Amino acid sequence: MTVCEPGTVWLVGAGPGDPELLTRKAEALIRSADMVFHDALVGPGILSLVPASADLVSVGKRAGRHSKDQCTIDRMIVDAALAGQRVVRLKGGDPSIFGRSTEELDACRAAGVPVHVCPGITAASAAAASLGTSLTLRGKARKLTFVTAHARAGEMLDLDWRTLADPQATLAIYMGKKAAPDLAAALVAAGLSAETPIALVENASLPGERVLRTRLGLLPLTARSALGDGPALILVGEAMAARPAPLPLRTSYTAMATSRSADP
């Protein structure tokens, strides 16, 4: 297994939250670290894998809370590596998808610090797994687009709604809970039907997970009334249509097996 070497930085994807959804490589890197800098969204189940001898530093950024700015984080991880530490920078999800990795990669490289990336499960993959559905569908959803709806307070979302309102695509919107009314209005104004199936997944993979399926027109109401304080992903498109798949009682299995084997 890959381990973190002295004087090296690894940007490690912590995945959606469930410690089981860490990669084996991420686990090995965390277990070999001297210093772990982590986002606020990385929870205790994952942080419990950090060795007792290692320093654990929260550099959490959460909307509306005081947190360390990006330059300070850059400097902290670089200085730790220059001091010879084995540095793991744990980021929620996948570092390469809305993870602001570029600043930290550039800072390490500018300082001559070897830096590597370990990928993680991104929220859209975890949400799809929880929904038991695919994000892509042959013929119906041949394109999958990720955007983030995060905008500073008072700013309008500056996204190209015309290209996003594609009935043949699945749209995964990260951090879209607060902007839900604007998102729904903009997509419908750009031509997407208010009847388009959507799913909302809050706290994907965690014990407090909530999974909701509804229609685009009901997104604002659903986001306001049915979601809590956790991170939420909004999925839009035909692939989110609920499947007619109630599970029959277990006692019917044998009968089904018999009828199946009688098929031509």
> What would the x/- binding string for a copy of itself be over residues 163 to 192, using CB under 8 A?
xx-x-x------------------------
Gap between the Cα atoms of 7 and 86, Å rounded: 6
Smallest distance from the beta carbon of 66 to a copy of itself, in angstroms?
A: 21
Smallest distance from the beta carbon of 224 to a copy of itself, in angstroms?
A: 25
Gap between the Cα atoms of 32 and 49, Å rounded: 10
Q: Which is nearer to a copy of itself, 63 or 106 (CB)?
A: 106
Is 143 annotated in the active site? no
Three-state DSSP state, 33: coil
Gap between the Cα atoms of 100 and 105, Å rounded: 9
- Tell me the CB-side half-sphere exposure of residue 113, using CA atoms within 13 A: 32
Gap between the Cα atoms of 233 and 171, Å rounded: 10
Residue type, 40: A
Task: State yes or no: residue 260 binds a copy of itself (CB under 8 A).
Answer: yes
Per CB under 8 A, which of residues 109..148 are in contact with a copy of itself?
109-122, 124-126, 128-129, 132-138, 142-148
Residue pair 168/143 in contact by the 8 Å Cβ criterion: yes
Smallest distance from the beta carbon of 220 to a copy of itself, in angstroms?
A: 22
Gap between the Cα atoms of 259 and 181, Å rounded: 49
Task: State yes or no: residue 264 binds a copy of itself (CB under 8 A).
Answer: no
Per CB under 8 A, which of residues 233..252 are in contact with a copy of itself?
243, 245, 247-248, 250, 252
Task: State yes or no: residue 7 binds a copy of itself (CB under 8 A).
Answer: yes
> What would the x/- binding string for a copy of itself be over residues 78 to 107, using CB under 8 A?
xx--xx----------xxxxxxxxx--xx-
Check 34, 39, 74, 166 and give the catalytic one. Answer: 39
Task: State yes or no: residue 37 binds a copy of itself (CB under 8 A).
Answer: no
Q: What is the DSSP string of 223-258?
A: HHHH--SS-EEEEESGGGSPP--PPPPGGGHHHHHH
Task: State yes or no: residue 47 binds a copy of itself (CB under 8 A).
Answer: no
Smallest distance from the beta carbon of 30 to a copy of itself, in angstroms?
A: 11
Check 25, 61, 140, 178 and give the catalytic one. Answer: 61
Q: Which is nearer to a copy of itself, 148 or 214 (CB)?
A: 148
Gap between the Cα atoms of 89 and 75, Å rounded: 12
Residues 6+ apart with CB under 8 A from 87: 4, 8, 9, 10, 33, 34, 35, 36, 37, 77, 80, 81
Per CB under 8 A, which of residues 51..80 are in contact with a copy of itself?
75, 78-79
Is 39 annotated in the active site? yes
Which residues are catalytic, by number? 39, 61
